[in-house]
Structures are given as structure tokens and as C-alpha cells.
A and B are shown apart, each in its own frame.
Chain A
């Protein structure tokens, strides 16, 4: 396990370097001039600066001060150094540090993602087991129909329809999501349904395959109760692919939060990122993308580790 862990950590290094480099280059490819942005920002509050009022000397001085006249790789090293110290720059719009804004919003997104994932895991695994045990009956067909629909529903439409039906027509839940579990239900359903559909499919497929294996037949013929055969014998192995996909879904949920948060007007990393993009608040965009990408890489690492832990063939490096 330790060899596997160290090997896996080593392959992580080029990925993290690549991700930070991509995010760094992103800012350079933006269709704006950061020097002009900075000069305009520094002068706001006073008389607005017209582009032709910026003298060449002032422009060059600012460019030098921002380090933009240095070679690209030197700039990248400086950027990496700042990132490692937790300095992601300041938001153009709010003037707060990007790090502050991310930490202020991350809790809400994690709450949403965890609720969505919890719902998806419970719903997906239960439906998957039921469909596998009632294979080729109408129950199986119904679960698979649910799964295809879940995969096909655009989350922004699902969210709006839930608001229309549950909040407006039936008046059961609040429209905008205030803090607390009541405001979390509709966004979590909207976010988690797709993952539930994926997990249900996979659980069914894995369980159907395993239920045909010899050791399950042996357990059955020993006269063990059906529930014990399924839960103790079959599910333990069926869970291996499911755990992998649950981890991968967590990453998808983070990006799904971008849409769900803006549909429900929830604060969070996702709605903050969309707002930053629309307002051309580039330091904030860069910081958010970086944090999300790195956390995605970390979640994937955890998934791989849990996979190795569950599956001795990988753990022992064969």
C-alpha cells in the first residue's frame, strides 16, 4: 500500500504543476490588458481614467511593478510562490482578497455538494439493488427509466420546475434557499439526481454480474437468507466500482454546483465564479478555478486510494 501511495503521489506532481500553469496562462490569454485594468482600478473613486490619458511612462512603470515585463517562466515561478503562500490576489470588484472570498463561500458549496451526494448515494444504491434483485420485471424497467431520465434532465430546468411545482404551486418549501435544511432540499435534489441515476445504473450492473458468480450461488445453497447473501456477500464486491464512481461524481457535483447555485440564488463558490466571469473579475476567476481544480485532483486521489484499499489486486501492485 505504501509503494502504491508514493507512486500515486508522484504522478500527482506533474498534474498539479500543469494545472497551476494552465490557470496562470489563462490570465495571460484573457482578452484584457491587466495593466490597464489595474490602473483603472487604482484610479476608481477619483475621476474616471480614459484609455488615452494613461501615459506610456505610467503604463511601463505599472507593467514593471506587476512583473509583467519579466520572462514568462519567471512570472510563473513568482505566481506559484504567491499561490503557495495563499496569496491569490485581490478581486477587481470587491477589493477583498480572493482567498477571503473563497473561504467565505466554500462552506455553502460543500454543504450543498455533501447533501446532494448523500442523497445520490442512498437513492442510487437502494434503487440499484432493487432493480438487480427484480431483474427483467417492471420494477427494473421503472428504475432504468428513472435512470435515463435523471441522466437527461438539464439541472437548470429541473431546478426551475421544482421551484414552480413545489414552491409556487404547492407552497411546500421556500423559493430562495435560506440557511437551514429547508432551503437545502430542492437544490440538493436538483444537484444529486444525475449522480443518483449514474450510481443506480452502476450498482445494478455490478450486482447483476456478481449475483451470477459461484460464491454467491454457494452462499445461497448453504441456505443463507437472501438478504444476507445480497448485503454481506454480493454487495461487498459490488461496492468497488460504486465507490469509484461516487468519488468521480463528487467532482461533477462541484461543477454542477455552479449551475444549481445560480438557479436557486444560493451563495457559494459556483455562483461566485459565474458572477466573476460576467464581471470580468479575472483574479477571482483564476483563484476559484485553481482551488476547484486542485480540490478535484485531491478527491480523485482519495478515490484511487479507497479503490486500492477495497481491491487487493491493486493494493498489492499486481
Chain B
């Protein structure tokens, strides 16, 4: 019965594609969006092709003199072991981007489930889920991640989980609000009247309509996740030496900052540029997809 009901109302492909095109058009017209995209493409590109661009392996020692200043041969100079800083920064991008994406995948998936459950089912499910989220929110930002790392033990994978867990509350809240609005629409009432199952309603009618805030939040949250991830590694709670993770490189370079500024400066610059790129793109996406989300953070 349910299948028939859905089959009689095929998803309209054409308007959706127009919407997508409209969003793209709005994005392309914004210089800041282009700037963000370019910056991000550059950072992702150099991370993916790091093994081909970099002249040395990230942990290869003695390819330069220890603390060799930046030169044409070693654009970002060398660190205390004579490792090529440029190669290390390039390879570090792979780790940081991975942390950002995996953490957001974890936080986004769990947050999506929590948000849909709370928003769609309401009642005691809503109360329970949201109180649980409130408890998570009571652990401010990085402390929640630190607590998770302490429980699981410091390592790169646990750090991804920790940062991902830290992202759950925001996702849950935003998705819940979006679901609450989407489920009041007439087509949801119509589907329900026709006897479409709850799961089908959520999958077919609600999810497509909450994708805009989800995509925007996910994009912006990759930036937050990269910042938290590098911060945890900086504190010694994530990547371990000789990993070229940016936060770790910074914390190692901090010791020599007075005499060899390049060791810590370039990884930090790489973090900043990546995060600026994501933030610019996220802001532009928000304006293009869903202007109502303005000022949500």
C-alpha cells in the first residue's frame, strides 16, 4: 500500500535540478565563495598530491641542515632533524583534512539520527534525546573532546572520535529544529493520511527538506573540527611524533620559535588558510541555500 502511494507521486526531478542550478548560480556570483573554493581546492589538491609534489618523505631526516632557513630548495626551511618543512606541511594536510571529514561524518550521522528522532517523534523521545544533548552541551567544546580522549587513550583515531562526539550536540539541535518545521508541511500530512510509514516519510519527505541546513552546518563544522583536532594534537592528546600533523608540528616548533620561526609558523598558516577557505565557502553556501541560518553561530 505504502509503496503504491509513493509510486503514484514520483519525485519531481526537474524542479530539484533547477534549485541545484540556482544555488550554484548564486554561489558563483559571490567573489568570497570563489575565493573560499579556490583556497580549499588548493589545500585539498596539495594534500591529495602531496607524495608527488613534495620532494621528500615527511619523516626523512637530514635532507637539509638542522634549522636551515627557508630557501628556494626548501621553501619552508627545515626543522631540528633537518626534515624538509614544506614536505611535512603538505603531508600534514592529509591528516588534518581527514580529521575534519571523519569527525563531521561521525557527528553529522549521530546528530542527524538524534535530530530526526527528537523532531519527528516528539513527546518523551524528544525530551530524552534533548536532555542527553543538553548534558553533552554542558561540557564546553574542547573539554568534551579531552574527556573522550582520556577515556579512549590518546591516538589519532580516538581524536577523530572525540572531535566527532563534540560535534553531535550542535547537529542534533539544528536538525531537530529543521525537522520540526518540515513535518508541519502539507505534503507530510498528505503522505501520513495515505498511510505512508514513518520511516518512509522521514526518508522521502523530511530528509530532502532538511538537507540545506545540514550541508551548511557540516561544511562549517569541518572547519571547527580541524581547529579542535589540531588543538588537541598541540596539547599532546592526538598525533604522536614523528607525524607531520599540523598541531603537533606547531607544538614542536614552538620551542624554537625565537631562532627558527619557520618551523612553527608554516603549519599554523596552513591551518588558518584551510579553515578560512572552509568558512568562506560555508558562509556563501548558507546565504545561497538558506538565508535563515544567518547568525547561527
Contact = CB atoms under 8 A, between A and B. Distances in A.
B135 A22 contact: yes
Given A15-B134, A259-B234, A293-B143, A152 B276 contact: yes
Interface in B255-274: 257-258, 261, 264-265, 267-269, 271-272
B139 A289 contact: yes
Interface in A259-300: 259, 262-263, 273-274, 277-278, 285, 289, 292-294, 296-297, 300
Interface string A66-83: 000000000000000000
Given A205-B294, A278-B236, A289-B143, A152 B223 contact: yes
A169 B251 CA distance: 20
B250 A157 contact: yes
Contacts of A312: none
Given A154-B227, A198-B297, A293 B276 contact: no
B143 A157 contact: no
B237 interface: yes
A254 B265 CA distance: 26
Most buried by A among B143, B149, B261: B143
Most buried by B among A31, A255, A274: A255
B231 A293 contact: no
A201 B280 CA distance: 13
Contact of B135 (A18, A26, A161, A205): A18
Contact of A154 (B131, B134, B261, B271): B271
Nearest to B223: A152
Contacts of A1: none
A14 B265 contact: no
A241 B295 contact: yes
A307 B276 CA distance: 31
Contact of A148 (B143, B280, B295): B280
Nearest to A159: B254
A161 B295 contact: no
A47 interface: no
Contacts of B227: 152, 154
B230 A201 contact: no
Q: Which secondary structure dominates chain A's binding surface?
A: helix
A102 interface: no
A37 interface: no
Given A15-B135, A22-B135, A154-B227, A252 B140 contact: yes
A206 interface: yes
Given A155-B231, A156-B234, A148 B142 contact: no
Interface residues of A, number: 51
Contact of A18 (B132, B152, B234): B132
A205 B280 CA distance: 17
A153 to B, nearest CB: 6
A251 B140 contact: yes
Contact of A156 (B132, B139, B149, B250): B250
Nearest to B224: A151
Contacts of A205: 294-295
A160 B257 CA distance: 8
Contacts of B261: 164
A191 interface: no
Contacts of A30: 150-151
B247 interface: yes
A157 B138 contact: no
Given A156-B231, A160-B250, A164-B258, A15 B138 contact: yes
Given A18-B131, A152-B223, A154-B272, A160 B254 contact: yes
14 contacts: A15-B131, A15-B135, A15-B138, A149-B276, A154-B250, A160-B254, A164-B258, A259-B142, A273-B143, A274-B235, A294-B138, A296-B138, A296-B140, A297-B138
Given A155-B231, A164-B265, A277-B149, 11 more contacts: A26-B150, A31-B151, A154-B250, A154-B268, A157-B267, A251-B140, A255-B143, A259-B231, A289-B147, A292-B143, A294-B138
Q: Which 4 A-B pairs have the closest CB atoms?
A: A157-B268, A18-B135, A152-B275, A255-B140
